[in-house]
Amino acid sequence: RPQEYQLERDEYVDDNRDGIADVDQMSGQGLVQRKTRIALTTIRRPQETQLAFANVWAAYLAVLATLKFQFARTTAFAIGIAQSTQFFFLKVFGPPLAMVMPHDTHHWIPTIIDSMVHLVALVIAWYLQMVISAVTSGLRGGVIATRAALAFANDRGMINLKESDTILDEALGMAVAAAGIFFQLTNGFALPFPFNIFLLPLTIVEWWARWQVTWG
């Protein structure tokens, strides 16, 4: 693309002919200004760039809305668990708390137990939602990956199979999905070393999305 070509070409420009590229003699601020100017001058249709950013932003909002819906559904699930079990835990833990707490604070016992039950229920609901998401994404991702691999092999002449004539893509997809789901469950949905280093940018994006869904 023109922008990439001009930016790469600029790395070798030596206007003062001293044998050292101009970009190697600039301050950080000057280099940023120079590269920004090159990018702005080589973009001939800024409306298309604006449209591209608008489409990315719209996609982000759509994903965020979906995640907010799932968060609300998970929260409702947690509230249902808490309401179904709080009476039982009040009967079980109420008397022991009454024995250790001062008499003039006993009116706090139902509130304390209710809050703890809701907190534990939310943790359980979130974990179950992570398991459901892992299974769903694993099944979809496994089939997508194997179909892409088979299409690549067909294009290269390695095999001659039609997707509609075989169940190989589904069978291999299930195997890939099972491996992926097992990997996530055994690692507690966390990335082991060194994947956590390589995929740190995606992890930051995930944290940002979680913050947006929960507090945004």
Express each pLDDT in 59-92 by its tens digit.
888 877 877 887 788 888 888 888 888 889 999 9
Q: Looking at residues 109-126, what average pLDDT do you find?
A: 89
**What gap in Å lies between CA 76 and CA 73, rounded to an integer?**
5
The candidate with the shortest Cα–Cα distance to 98, out of 81, 83, 112, is: 112
Contact 1, 49 (CB under 8 A): no
pLDDT at 41: 76
Backbone angles phi, psi at 95, to 5 degrees: -60, -45
- Per residue in 86-96, pLDDT (tens digit) is 889 999 999 99
DSSP 204: H
Q: How are the residues of the chain apportioned to helix, strand and coil, as percentages rounded to the nearest 5?
A: 80, 0, 20
Interhelix angle 46-100/109-155, nearest 10 degrees:
140
pLDDT digits (tens, 9 = 90+) for 128-170: 888 888 898 889 999 888 888 888 888 887 877 776 777 887 8
Whether the Cβ atoms of residue 162 and residue 168 lie closer than 8 Å to each other = no
State residue 1's pLDDT score: 60
Checking if the pLDDT of 4 tops 70, the result is no
pLDDT at 37 over 70: yes
Torsional class of 134: left (φ above 0), alpha (ψ -120 to 50), beta (otherwise): alpha
- For all residues of the chain together, what is the average pLDDT? 82
pTM score of the predicted model = 0.60
Neighbours of 19 (CB within 10 A): 6
What CA–CA distance (Å, rounded) separates 144 from 142?
6
Distance CA 62, CA 58 (A): 6
Q: Which residues of 174-184 are buried (b: 16+ CB within 10 A; e: fewer)?
A: bebbeebbeeb
**Contact present, 26 and 34 (Cβ < 8 Å):** yes
> Tokens representing 137?
């994404």
